[in-house]
Amino acid sequence: MAARDDSARGPALGYADPLGEPFLRTRFAVPARPAVFVRRPRLTAHLDQAFDTPLTMVNGAAGAGKTLLVADWAARLGQPVAWLTHEAADQAPGMFWAYALHALQTAGTPLPAGTGGSPGGLHRVDHRLLARLADELNGRDRPAILVLDEFDRLTAPETAEQLEFVLHHAGRGLRLILVTRTEPLLPLHRYRAAAAMTEIRNDELAFTPEEAADLLARHGLRLPADAARALVERTRGWAAGLRLSALAAQQSADPQTYLKEFEAGHSTIADFLLAEVVGRQPPETQDLLLRISVLDRFGPELAEALTGRPGAGPLLAGLCRQNAFVEDLGHSWYRLHPLFGEILRVHLRARSPALVPELHRRAAWWLRAHGALPEALAHGAAAGDWECTAGALVDDLALGRFLAGPCDDLTGLFAAMGPEACGAAVDLVRAARELAEHDVDHGLAHLGRAEERPATGTTTAAARLSCALLEVLAARLTGSPGRAEQAMAAAARLRHEVPARLLAKHPEITALLLTHLGSARVWAGRFDAARAALTEVAELPGDALTELPREDCLGHLALIDYFDGRLDRAESRALAAADATRNGGGRPFPGAGLGQLVLAAVAVDRDELERARALLAEAAESGPGSGAPDPVTEAGRALVTGRLRLALGDPAGAAHAADAAVRTHAASPWSRANAALAAAAVLLAEGRPATAVEVLDGIDGPLGPLCAAEVAWARLAAGHREEALETADRLCADGETGPGVTVRATLVRARAAVGAGDGDAARKLLARALLEARRDRLRRPFLDAGPEIRRLLDSPPLHGLAACWLYGDGPGTGPAPLLVEELSGREREVLGRLAQMMSTQEIAADLYVSVNTVKTHLKSIYRKLGVGRRGDAVRRARERGLL
C-alpha cells in the first residue's frame, strides 16, 4: 500500500487526489543515485543554465541517464525542488494539476489561497486557479523549480496547453524542467526562437569514453582506453547499456573479453529494450521494427517494401521523435541503434526464422532497383538469391571490381555461391572470379556458358560489355593479340549502348580494356599501338578503381621504353610501377612485378648485377601465386634472367633462361628473338658462327630497336659485317631511339672499324658512344664489346672519358668514382628535374610519387653531394658530370 504524505495535510491543500486516493509520496521524491553513479560536470554545468530560461528539456532515450542526471543536479542545488514523476493515469487535467500543486507545496512553494483538495474535478480545471497560480509564482523573488519526470507519458493536449499558460504567465517565478523521451506538446519553437529554452538531448547524454571508463571502474572493471572507446562505439554511449554490460561483466571470468564480444541479443540489455522500447509500441510498429532490423539504413519506401504495408513514414518519424533507438540520418533515412538492431535481429530469428531470408531478398531487389549496389549485394547474398546478387553487379557494370584492385569483399560475398546457382550473370561472376585468379581454363568455360545463355532485360549492354572485358583479359593471358583486338572492337561498339552514367561511375572498365589490349599488343611486338593504349590509362587522374590498371600500364610502358633504349624514362616509369606495387601491399594483378623486371634489366645494363638479382627476386614475389602467368611479364623475366646470366659469364645458363616456355596461342617476336640471341651467343662462344647465323636468320616479325641492335652485334660477331653495319647505321640515324640502342649500334660500327683497321674511326665512334652512355651509366655494352674495344677504351684519348663512370662500381679496374656514394636512379631523376627548376610538387607529379618521397630523395642527394641547397646541388652535379 502506498504511504500517505502527512506533510501535505493542511488548509491549503488536501492529501487526496481527485479520485480520493492518497497522494503517492514516491512520486514527489527526488530519485536516489546509486553508489556507482558517475557525476558528469559537463552536463551539470549545462543544466545550470536552467536558471536563465523558463523552460529546460532533457530529452533522451530510455536508459539514457536523464532522470539521474537531473536528480543529482537537483540534490546539489541547496534549495528546494518540486519533483513529480508522471504516470500514464495523469492524462486527466484535474489529476495532473492535483499532483503538480502537491509537488510545489511539498517543496515549500506557497500556493494561492482558496485551492482546495481538487483543482476543479478530474476532467476539468478551473482556469481562475491557473491564473492565480501563475500570478502567485510571478510575484516570487526566487523562482520555484518544478521538475516533471517521464513527461512523455503526458499526451493530453489540453493539459499541455494549461501548463504552457502557467509557465508563460509565471514569468521569472517558475523554472520548468521536463525530463522526457520525446518532445512535449508545448510550443517549443517559440522558446527556441526567443532563446528562452535550455536543451540537453540524446547525443549530449551519451557517455564519452572517459566517462564510460569511470563507470566501469566503479564496477571494479579496468579497461584500456581503446577497449573503452570500442564499447562506447558499440553502445553509442548509452548509459543503461554500459551499466547492464558492466554488471554482466562482473560475473564473467574474463570481463574485458566479455565487454568486447558479448551478445546483446541474449543479455539483460535485450530484456530492458524489449520491455521499455518495443513493448510500448503498438503491434504494427513492433512488426515494422523487427522487419527493418535486417537493414543497416532505411527510408519509408524501403521499410514498406519489407512490411508490404503503406504508412511507414509517419511511424519512423514518430519512433525517431520518441528517441526509440531509431536515429535520423537526414533526408528521411534512418538507422537503428547498433545494440537495438542486434537485439531485434535475434528476436526476429527466434520468432520468424523463415522470414529472415525473405526480408533480405525484398531488400536486395528494392536496393538494386534504386542503385544502392553495395547494400543490394549484401542483402542478396544474405538471402542466397544469387540471380539478384550477380545481376546487380553485372547490371551496374561493376564486374571490373574483381579485376581492378583488392576485391576481398566481393570474393567473400560470393564465396557462399554454390554450384546450383545459375544464370548468365552468375556465370559472368564466376568467369571474372576465375580469370582474376589467372585460372584461364575455368574462366573461359564460365564465360562461354554466359555468352550462350539468352540475353534478357534492359541492361544486356552492360552484360555484353562485361563479356568483352573478360574476353580481352583472357586474350591477354593466353597470348592471343588477334582475339584481344576483336573483343576490343566489340567493346567499342557496346560503349555506345551502355548508359553514360555507368561508364562515368566505373572508369576502371575503360582502364582495364585498354590495359589488357595494350599488353596483348606488346606481346605482338606492336609497340607504337601498345604505347597509345597504355598511355591513355597511365595519364588518367588518380582513382582507387584505376590505380592497379595504371600501375600495370606503367610497367608495360617502362618495358617499351627499355626496348627503345630510353633507360632514363624506362627507369622512371618502372620505379613508379614498383613503388605502387610495394605501397599496395603486393596486390596481385597480371603485370605485377613488371616494373621490378625493367629495373633489373636497367641494372644489368649498368653492370649493377647484385641489384639486378635482388630486383628479380622481388619481382618473383610480386606476381600472382597460382594460375596462368602473364605472357609479357614471364617473357620479360626470361629476358632479364638471360641477360644477367650472360653478364655473369654463363652463356649456357642465359640460353636456358631465355628459352623459358610460356604457353600462348601466338608467339611473341621479341620473346623468340631474345631466345634466339641467347642461343646464338652460346654458339658463338663455342666457335660455331655459321650455326649462330642460321639461328639469327630464323628471327622474324617486329623486333623493336633494342633487339635489332643486338641482332646486328651478333651478326657482326658471326662475320656478317655488311648486314650488321646496315642495321647499325639505320638505328643510329633513327632519332626516335635512346642511348640503350644507339650506343649498341655505335659499338657495332666501332668494332667493324677495328676489324677494317681504321683505328681513328673506331676511337671517334667510341668517344661518341661514351659521351652518349655516360648520363645513363650504360656500362654493360662496353664490358661485353670484346678485347679490341677494351684496349681502345684504355688508351689515353678515351680513358679520361671512361674513368669517371665506366669503372665506377662494376667489375674491372680504373680510377675510383668521384662520388663516395653514387646517386640512385631515382635520385638522378629528381636531380634532373631540379635542374629544370621544377618545384617539389611538380617533381612528385612528374614521377608519380608523393611529395614526402621527393623530399626524402632531396635529403639523400644533398648528403651525397655535400651541399645544403638546391642551387648548390645542381652546380655540384654539373661539375661532376652528373647532368
The pLDDT mean for the chain works out to 87
Retrieve residue 237's grid coordinates: 554511449
Residue 149 CB: number of other CB atoms within 10 A? 22
Residue 208 CB: number of other CB atoms within 10 A? 14
- Cα–Cα distance, 805 to 593 (Å, whole number): 29
| Angle between helical axes of 460-477 and 424-436 (0-180°, round to 10) | 30
pLDDT of residue 41: 95
Residue 339's closest CA among 215, 252, 239, 211? Answer: 239
- Cα–Cα distance, 852 to 509 (Å, whole number): 31
Residue 543: strand, helix, or coil: coil
Residue with cell 590498371: 549
The HSE-up count of residue 640 (CA atoms within 13 Å, CB side) is: 32
- Cα–Cα distance, 680 to 670 (Å, whole number): 15
pLDDT at 376 over 90: yes
pLDDT (tens digit, 9 = 90+) per residue, 657-709?
A: 877 667 888 989 998 888 888 888 888 877 888 888 888 888 877 778 988 88
- Cα–Cα distance, 441 to 478 (Å, whole number): 10
Helices (H) and strands (E) in the chain, counts: 46, 7
Beta bridge partners of 180: 59
Contact 72, 39 (CB under 8 A): yes
pLDDT at 37 over 90: yes
Q: What is the pTM of this model?
A: 0.74
Residue 21 CB: number of other CB atoms within 10 A? 12
- Cα–Cα distance, 68 to 65 (Å, whole number): 6
Q: Which residues contact 377 (CB under 8 A, 6 or more apart)?
A: 364, 389, 392, 393, 410, 413
Segments in 419-546 forming alpha helices (H): 424-436, 440-452, 460-477, 481-494, 500-505, 507-523, 527-538
pLDDT of residue 299: 97
> 339 falls in which pLDDT band (50, 70, 90)?
very high
Residue 459's closest CA among 401, 508, 410, 391? Answer: 391
> 188 falls in which pLDDT band (50, 70, 90)?
very high
pLDDT of residue 714: 87
CA-CA-CA-CA torsion sign (712, 715, 716, 717)? positive
pLDDT (tens digit, 9 = 90+) per residue, 740-772?
A: 999 999 999 999 999 999 989 999 999 999 989
pLDDT of residue 485: 97
> 451 falls in which pLDDT band (50, 70, 90)?
confident
DSSP string, 188-223: HHHHHHTT-EEEE-HHHHSPPHHHHHHHHHHTT---
pLDDT of residue 690: 86
**How far separated are the first and last CA of the chain, in Å rounded?**
100
> 405 falls in which pLDDT band (50, 70, 90)?
low
pLDDT (tens digit, 9 = 90+) per residue, 778-829?
A: 999 998 888 888 888 888 778 878 876 786 544 333 333 334 456 788 888 8
DSSP string, 353-401: TTHHHHHHHHHHHHHHHTT-HHHHHHHHHHHT-HHHHHHHHHHTT-GGG
- Tell me the CA distances in angstroms from 143 to 53, 57, 79, 172, 513, one per residue in order: 11, 17, 11, 6, 77
Contact 109, 144 (CB under 8 A): yes
Contact 315, 285 (CB under 8 A): yes
| pLDDT more than 70, % of the chain | 92
- Tell me the CA distances in angstroms from 4 to 10, 17, 85, 96, one per residue in order: 14, 11, 16, 18
Would you call 825 exposed, middle or buried from its count of C-beta atoms within 10 A (0-12, 13-18, 19+)? buried
Residue 82: strand, helix, or coil: strand
Residue 800 CB: number of other CB atoms within 10 A? 10
Beta bridge partners of 175: 145
- Cα–Cα distance, 574 to 559 (Å, whole number): 8
Residue 163's closest CA among 180, 146, 140? Answer: 146
pLDDT of residue 447: 92
Highest mean predicted confidence (pLDDT) among 330-339, 403-412, 820-829: 330-339
pLDDT (tens digit, 9 = 90+) per residue, 565-581?
A: 999 999 989 988 887 76
Torsion of CA 650, 651, 657, 661, to 10 degrees: -160
pLDDT of residue 621: 81
- Cα–Cα distance, 709 to 486 (Å, whole number): 33
Q: What is the mean pLDDT of the segment spanning 295-311? A: 97
Question: What are the contacts of 568-572 at 24+ separation with CB within 8 A?
Answer: 568/738, 568/775, 568/776, 568/828, 568/829, 568/832, 569/738, 570/598, 570/601, 570/602, 571/598, 571/599, 571/602, 571/825, 571/826, 571/829, 572/829, 572/847
pLDDT of residue 657: 83
Contact 659, 678 (CB under 8 A): yes
pLDDT at 5 over 50: no
Contact 393, 373 (CB under 8 A): yes
| Angle between helical axes of 355-369 and 386-395 (0-180°, round to 10) | 20
Beta bridge partners of 671: none
Retrieve residue 91's grid coordinates: 492524462
Residue 500's closest CA among 446, 462, 550? Answer: 462
Q: Which residues contact 192 (CB under 8 A, 6 or more apart)?
A: none
- Cα–Cα distance, 515 to 476 (Å, whole number): 10
The helix or strand, by DSSP H or E, that contains position 333, with its residue range, turns out to be strand 333-336
- Cα–Cα distance, 462 to 227 (Å, whole number): 46
Higher pLDDT, 463 or 622: 463
Q: What does the DSSP 8-state code read for residue 563? A: H
- Cα–Cα distance, 463 to 724 (Å, whole number): 53
Q: Which residues contact 765 (CB under 8 A, 6 or more apart)?
A: 746, 747, 749, 750, 753
- What is the chain's percent helix, strand, coil content, to nearest 5? 65, 5, 35
Residue 585's closest CA among 548, 612, 531? Answer: 548
Q: What Rg value do the Cα atoms of the chain yield, rounded? A: 41
- Cα–Cα distance, 679 to 138 (Å, whole number): 109
Q: What does the DSSP 8-state code read for residue 334? A: E
Backbone angles phi, psi at 149, to 5 degrees: -85, 150
